[in-house]
Structure 1
């Protein structure tokens, strides 16, 4: 294990985080609210610790795959711990555990909250909550790769450790250029969304906060009633469209920029994503039509919630706890699936369902045609048996962690619907579940122990398990490496 290089990279992450904190500090000075000391102390501590770690000079320049996984796991833990400092110093949170929970929820783009009244928070803290979604949406290590050429030799392994999906796409030969292009697309789409929301009638501050949350597919809002608090149909339509768009792989946007329209149109995962969204909206609209004033209002709420849940954003315009069982069941299904790999969304990713479905079809064909030789293929490319195996393993790990976490939080004696959907929402980085953790509820009633369990689930789900599980593997920490 290359400890010096690992901690050097973690130090760079903390220094970048300290720079990001300058934005909410500026907001706190502009709007007042008295929260600027919280950011000043947080910046000072983060920068000091980050600089000390970044000054380490590793003798061994080799950066192995397991080193990258350890960096990814620890980076997100340190990012969240130090990101909790502004919350702690602000005095608006009951305990440091609550601060860490809120911070992890922000950076992992989950959007779960322990706050019962967000509208009393000062503007700087509100900005930092939503801005953490934007930072975590594309990934802090991805940003570090884009802006720090000195770590270029480690870029491939870092990208693999942090990226979502079975295998990350490299859209240009150089990893650093890939990271830059991804962030430019991400930034451009965010700016466009801010402009559209401002035109729709939202104040500039609210437009920025909601754009951060939509872009990162998070869900923190500065309104107690989430997006429903604005009662702005134009803004809802804009966010519905953009939540869907941020659930699409960014490599496909690069294909569009390169005029590779055929690759975009024929992408299997994108077609399935579009189909699932349309079918879900139609079924839910019909199912809830009796609860609203006409089919159009039902369509308005169903389309927003489907786009919000499948993209794992977690915003709400209505209390879907009151919807019929069929509609709620569809939303829970969408929590599991999530959107496309390579997007800012969470969940298992549709591509994994496609891989397993096609793998099952191949195995069934072999039963009826034992002599046939078929392979799983997507978009005309053969999927290796290794990826099929890792996809199956991902499903096993997801449900294993789900059941263990559900047993652990059941100590709080909450109802099974609230407990189960809270774990699903944490693992899939969705935010709201059903019951007491629904769109009008929060996670405040859970014990500190359960909040720690949820925090683990959020980080594990965001990094898709392996970088976190590696930290609990004893042989990884042995100095001697057998090659």
Structure 2
């Protein structure tokens, strides 16, 4: 079986043209706000649109528009890489990030919604570039391909292959029989929640530009801020609003859909959603007690900072309201553990996802029962329904590979010359698409000081984590490229 390279390249051209539209949007804001970066955005948009249009026109007359599963995996991975490469242009041309390595790191950190940054003075960056930085996260939050499937009818052919290759979680729940309608409804919810957060932040007295950027990056669970001190810059009201929308962004969007339809019983019956609430509640309670008795913070601030950081890490948003590494080794250890949990499948969050942990633990405990009753057939149940054994195998394989990649990543970063604490923190946060880590890449630091090769390696881990390992790893297997 051959790859349909002609249609693959055609779709990449469409993605570039779509990306240029968002650059033009940032251009309008830059001109309106009197920014000096408008020309960089204009040139970037023209180059990106021109390149996309050229390859689209060259390949638009393809007679074979069939997309197979292998084509879908290749489109998704190459699409994110191509978008990230062209996404560096506004940074480089404006001089905000003159280094290509740093610009690519910042861009792929945006598209993968990781939120790791190399910028030492965010507030000195022009407004148009900051908006582009936030938009990369908002686009990447729901997914570039999912957006394209939603609005470009030409991708109706092969849409499921693209959706499955990119959509987070074990398997995307379809709200409607047609994949295009599903993608559209997901984006309606995503856009609606973004606008709702924007309104609430404005009601709290937040400036419009800051409110817009934080609404974009909250719903993407990305965490890019317009302030050097991140969310610590803002009032308690603003922080509570961000907490609520980080929580919603980390919830399965299918459940959000049913919740908006008034079917709250179906939402609460979802086992992953209940565990999501329990995990946040338990970690928050433990950390509140520790922070309250070991710092000078009052009860309300201890609660707010603890809840904020727990939700930010669990949902892999990565905003910072306080330096959690100053809360002691015990809390730091809990934060590190949370980096491997993740939020709900079918959300914009990264990480392992809670549903995988549920399946893993249930299967582990059932294995003890199987030892006592070797002839019994005891399936793993989720939401009171037996799940296919292939899903269990998939979960076990995913977690094994995830931990193997993490361990290998720590070795690689240590070999590069990074200290051990920074190595484990940078790898965990990049693979989990979280943002702040431990050591010298903690909540009050950034990634600018890391060696160039380390930034490229972490960029690769960000992409692997965002596309849930398998999509990227398949491209490195010989049988993926084998013709048959």
Residues 26-105 of structure 1 mapped to structure 2, 5 A cutoff: 26-55=28-57, 56=59, 57-105=61-109
Q: Give the C-alpha shift of residue 207 in structure 1.
A: 0.3
Instruction: Give 4+ residue runs of structure 1 displaced > 3 Å after superposition.
Output: none
TM-score scaled by length of structure 2: 0.97
Residues 21-420 of structure 1 mapped to structure 2, 5 A cutoff: 21-55=23-57, 56=59, 57-230=61-234, 232-289=235-292, 290-420=294-424
Matched-pair contact (CA < 8 Å) for 2:291–2:297: no
Matched-pair contact (CA < 8 Å) for 2:91–2:98: no
Matched-pair contact (CA < 8 Å) for 1:412–1:446: no
Residues 454-473 of structure 1 mapped to structure 2, 5 A cutoff: 454-473=458-477
Matched-pair contact (CA < 8 Å) for 1:69–1:466: no
* Offset from partner CA, 1:158-197 (integer Å, 9 cap, x none): 1100011111111111110101100000001000100101
* Offset from partner CA, 1:357-407 (integer Å, 9 cap, x none): 111122211111223221111113321111111111111221222122222
Matched-pair contact (CA < 8 Å) for 1:209–1:221: yes
Q: Give the C-alpha shift of residue 242 in structure 1.
A: 1.1
Give SS of 1:444's match: coil
Let me know the Cα RMSD of the aligned residues: 1.2
1:434 to 433, 438, 456: 438
Question: Aligned equivalents of 2:384 and 2:180: distance in 1?
Answer: 27
* Offset from partner CA, 1:280-338 (integer Å, 9 cap, x none): 10000001113133222111110110111111110111111101222111111111111
Question: Aligned equivalents of 2:319 and 2:77: distance in 1?
Answer: 27
Q: Give the C-alpha shift of residue 443 in structure 1.
A: 0.4
Question: Aligned equivalents of 1:259 and 1:380: distance in 2?
Answer: 22
Question: Aligned equivalents of 1:292 and 1:351: distance in 2?
Answer: 37
TM-score scaled by length of structure 1: 0.97
Question: Aligned equivalents of 2:66 and 2:390: distance in 1?
Answer: 25
Q: Could you list the runs of 5+ residues in structure 1 that have no partner in the other structure?
A: none
Question: Aligned equivalents of 1:59 and 1:385: distance in 2?
Answer: 40
1:6 to 1, 5, 8: 8
In the alignment of these two chains, the number of paired residues is 479
Question: Aligned equivalents of 2:479 and 2:268: distance in 1?
Answer: 45
Question: Aligned equivalents of 2:43 and 2:296: distance in 1?
Answer: 49
1:447 to 423, 443, 451: 451
Q: Give the C-alpha shift of residue 33 in structure 1.
A: 2.6
